[in-house]
Amino acid sequence: MALLELKGVRKIYRQGQIEVPALRGVDLQVDEGEFTTVFGPSGSGKTTMLNMIGCLDKPSSGTIIFNGKELNELSKKDLAMIRRFNIGFIFQSYNLIPVLTAYENVEFAIRLINKYDNKEIRERVLKILAAVGLEGMENRRPHELSGGQKQRVAIARALVKEPKLVLADEPTANLDSKTSEEVLKVMVKMNKELGTTFIFSTHDPLVMDYARRMLEIRDGLIAEDRRREEINVSD
Amino acid sequence: MFLTKLAIKNLVRHRNRSIFTSIIIAMAILIYIFFDSLIGGMSELSYETIIDYESAHLQIVDKNYWEAKDELALDNLFTIDERVLEGVKNLTGILAGSRELNFSALLSNGIDNLPVMGKGIIPEEYLKVFALEKQFVEGDIFQPGDYKAVLGKRLAELLDLGVGDYITLLVKDNNNTFNTIDVEIAGLLHTSNPNVNQNIVYLPLDLAQQALSVGEQVSKILIRIENKDQASRLAEELGLNLIKANSNLAVYSWEELEAFSFLGAAVLEKQVILAIILVIAAIAIINTVILAALERLEEIGMMKAMGLQNREIVYTFVLESTGIGIIGGIIGIVLGIITIWFLSVYGMDFEALYGVDMASFGLPILGKIYAAWNPAAFIEVFVFGVLVSLLASILPAYWAADKDPVESIYHR
Ligand SMILES: Nc1ncnc2c1ncn2[C@@H]1O[C@H](COP(=O)(O)OP(=O)(O)O)[C@@H](O)[C@H]1O
Ligand SMILES: [Mg+2]
């Protein structure tokens, strides 16, 4: 069974009298463990789609089934609980909490799921920070980190609770190409090691090389859905 | 736990703003403590000045006399027989009693007149009940049988009189005929009670009784007791003892005097100040929460994306505000203690500061007011300040927590 299924998903934003259709009927299935890129120009509807998959927004019509549950039927509280336990977010602007250190930003996410004792939490946080290449920087505050490092913290934060799905909305848009590559490699590596399902959006053609599945989105519709052979990413 | 830690980190994040808000709350608390102790000080002082110089703790009076006691009429007086004295003596807790005959008179120096209140007293008894002995600025008390009087220095000054001068009191006796009493001034008083200073003339009781043709009768017996908080209880017991001797007599405690009613007004004043604190602290806190929330919109959005419930986000804001309230409370209490300490040692001279005579406000106070310690008020206002900080933050915190995370994160 697919981890995620979208059926005829539409989203219309209303700006006063004008209706802006952001998604115009999206059908999609994503299986567990997939590493998918959503590619398309600015304004094509990538963010809108990711936010609806991530339970942050609701479609105007159509259904989304995530992990066997139909999201339409759930309350705000239930949706928050799905995000808390099953979804990790990575945003373009990192969105770390400035008063918390790298370690604490990651710790925050794992504390929320109330699953591990203090010792285990510590081990897991340190391990994931090391895995994203931030060993020795645990005690730095966000303002003491570079853009790439901040995004690594955000990746660690999204992954530490071992969610079913990680949604990354243009995670490399604020990074230079070298750093972008590094961050993408980290995501690919985590996908391989942990089997976490990733969906990330981008409008940068270079970034697409890292995906095994590529969805091209244009004017709120999926224009192309391609799969490729396993790609090998060297460290 | 983690949210608590986050709230504390947020509290020190904008140190200046947190401190500024704390100080506003501290000032509001300080104002309350200041007024509370001043009102406390005034009450203390006025209790003392009235009890020590005018009312004593208990008064034995004819019931009908009490109804119209301000008229100083000569009907409804009473004679003291053995049984009345027994009733007084048999009660523990009573220190001393003194007879008093009150009358109205016109005081004259031969040229000018002033209306005064005359008091016929027996010095030996009277000085055991009232604290007059050390208040003589000139001369001394008279002896029974003397044709002498004692009055306030202020009153004497008004009529250009001094010790050794002669005065005339014009009175209306029990038969409604006018009579005069000519006496020499034996001593002048200055107390903290303005009434004593400018309204009262003391005479030997026998002299007054004779001039007013009232025989052996008196208006009151005034009683000093060991502990002023026992006044009501003793008044009741003494009342029961006296009923056997004279069923018209009743015993009243100092608390029943109208002069103390202004303290009710003081309580009201305190509530007004509490309301002002409430408004000030609430505005400061609401303002702080809104500023913080606007600044942290993105973070709040991220926290919601991470699956935090609204109430968890509200909790961090409320805790932060409570922290500000606690800091403000502590600062306020510390400043309060310093201020009260200073004012309890050095006092505050309203006359010197503002040129106002407290007596003209109906407060029987002269000279300095010393702040009174009231630890209960410290605790009350601290709890109040913290509670207001906590409650005021809830609504703006919900406003912040309820923002759409997509809009916050994407600045839409
Ligand atoms: N809150 C909104 N109100 C109105 N229009 C919106 C809103 N959010 C997105 N849109 C519009 O929806 C379309 C898709 O936007 P978006 O999903 O952000 O695209 P992308 O992420 O691919 O750039 C755009 O035309 C955008 O202007
Ligand atoms: Mg976008």
* Same domain flag for B42 and B145: no
* Same domain flag for B377 and B277: yes
pLDDT exceeds 90 at position B67: no
b (16+ CB within 10 A) / e for A41-74: eeebbbbbbbbbbbbbbebeebebbbbeeebeeb
* Same domain flag for B83 and B34: no
pLDDT exceeds 90 at position B276: no
* Pairs across A and B, CB distance < 8 A: 63
Domain that holds residue B284: 2-50+261-409
* Ligand 1 pocket test, candidate residues A13, A24, A46, A52, most atoms within 8 A of CB: A13
Q: What is the CATH number of the domain that holds B82?
A: 2.40.70
The reply to whether ligand 1 has any atom less than 6 angstroms from the CB of A47 is yes
Which of A79-83, B366-370, B390-394 is predicted with the least confidence, judged by mean pLDDT?
B366-370
* Same domain flag for B30 and B88: no
Q: What is the mean pLDDT of residues B129-158?
A: 92
* Same domain flag for B35 and B118: no
Q: How far apart are CA A145 and CA B371, in angstroms?
A: 56
Q: What is the mean pLDDT of residues B189-214?
A: 90
Please identify, among B193, B218, B243, the residue that sits at the C-terminal boundary of a domain: B218
| pLDDT for position A156 | 94
* Same domain flag for B17 and B152: no
Give me the residue label for tokens 């993408």: A184
Q: How far apart are CA B158 and CA B116, in angstroms?
A: 12
Q: What is the mean pLDDT of residues A153-161?
A: 95
Atom 13 of ligand 1, residue of closest alpha carbon: A22
| pLDDT for position B98 | 92
Delimit the domains of chain A by residue range.
31-62+74-227
Which of A119-123, B127-131, B214-218, B267-271 is predicted with the least confidence, judged by mean pLDDT?
B267-271
B55 with B259: CB under 8 angstroms?
A: yes
Q: Which of A56, A97, A112 sits opposite B299 (nearest CB)?
A: A97
Note whether B305 contacts A83, CB cutoff 8 Å: yes
Residues of B near A (Cβ–Cβ under 8 Å) read: 1-2, 6, 9-10, 13, 298-299, 301-309, 405-406, 409-410
* Same domain flag for B137 and B88: yes
| pLDDT for position B269 | 77
Ligand nearest, relative to CA of residue A44: 1
| pLDDT for position B354 | 54
Is the C-alpha dihedral spanning A195, A196, A201, A202 positive or negative?
negative
Q: How far apart are CA B408 and CA B300, in angstroms?
A: 8
* Same domain flag for B350 and B314: yes
Residue B238 lies in a domain: no
DSSP A179-224: HHHHHHHHHHHHHHHH--EEEEEES-GGGGGG-SEEEEEETTEEEE
pLDDT exceeds 60 at position B122: yes
* Same domain flag for B331 and B198: no
Tally of structural domains, chain B: 2
Residue B320 lies in a domain: yes
| pLDDT for position B352 | 58
Bridge partner residues of A29 (DSSP):
A5
Give me the residue label for tokens 């463990």: A33
Rounded to 5 degrees, what are φ and ψ at B216? -95, 10
A83: left (phi over 0), alpha (psi -120 to 50) or beta: alpha
Atom 16 of ligand 1, residue of closest alpha carbon: A45
Fold (CATH) for A31-62+74-227: Rossmann fold (3.40.50)
* Same domain flag for B123 and B205: yes
pLDDT exceeds 90 at position A186: no
| pLDDT for position B106 | 94
Q: How far apart are CA B394 and CA B282, in angstroms?
A: 11
- Virtual torsion, Cα B399, B404, B409, B410, nearest 10 deg: -130
Residue B31 lies in a domain: yes
Residue B164 CA to its chain's centroid (Å): 38
| pLDDT for position B353 | 54
Residue B65 lies in a domain: no
Please identify, among B184, B218, B252, the residue that sits at the C-terminal boundary of a domain: B218
Chain A residues in contact with B18 (beta carbon < 8 A): none
Q: How far apart are CA B220 and CA B199, in angstroms?
A: 19
Q: What is the mean pLDDT of residues B33-47?
A: 80
Q: How far is CA B228 from CA A81, A127, A133, B173, B263, in A?
A: 65, 74, 78, 36, 17
Q: How far apart are CA A41 and CA A51, in angstroms?
A: 17
| pLDDT for position B346 | 84
| pLDDT for position B169 | 94
DSSP A77-142: HHHHHHHHHHEEEE-TT----TTS-HHHHHHHHHHHTT-S-HHHHHHHHHHHHHHTT-TT-TT--G
The reply to whether ligand 1 has any atom less than 6 angstroms from the CB of A130 is no
The pLDDT tens digits of the residues spanning A8-42 come to 999 999 988 999 999 999 999 999 999 999 999 99
pLDDT exceeds 80 at position A176: yes
* Same domain flag for B112 and B170: yes
Rg of the Cα atoms in chain B: 31
Which of A131-135, B19-23, B67-71 is predicted with the least confidence, judged by mean pLDDT?
B67-71
| pLDDT for position A234 | 54
| A166 Cα to the center of ligand 2, angstroms | 16
The pLDDT tens digits of the residues spanning B245-254 come to 777 888 998 8
State which H helix or E strand residue A153 sits in.
helix A147-159
pLDDT exceeds 60 at position B359: no
Please identify, among B163, B195, B218, the residue that sits at the C-terminal boundary of a domain: B218
